[in-house]
Copies of this chain bind each other. A is one copy, B any other.
Amino acid sequence: MYVRDKEGIAKRLKRLEGQIRGIAKMVEEDRYCIDILNQIEAAKGALDKVALLILEGHLKGCVKRAIKTGEEEPVIKELLEVLDKFIR
List the B residue with the shortest CB-CB distance to A40. B51
CB-defined contacts of A76 to chain B, threshold 8 Å: 56, 59-60
The interface residues of chain A, by DSSP majority, are classed as: helix
Q: Is the CB of B72 within 8 A of A41?
A: no
Contacts of A50 in B (CB 8 A): 23, 40
Question: Are B41 and A86 closer than 8 Å at their CB atoms?
Answer: yes
Known: A44-B44, A55-B80; 14 extra A-B contacts, CB below 8 A, are: A9-B27, A10-B28, A13-B20, A17-B20, A37-B55, A41-B51, A48-B84, A51-B87, A52-B84, A56-B76, A59-B76, A59-B79, A86-B86, A88-B88
Measured as residues with beta carbon below 8 angstroms from the partner, the interface class of chain A is 35 or more
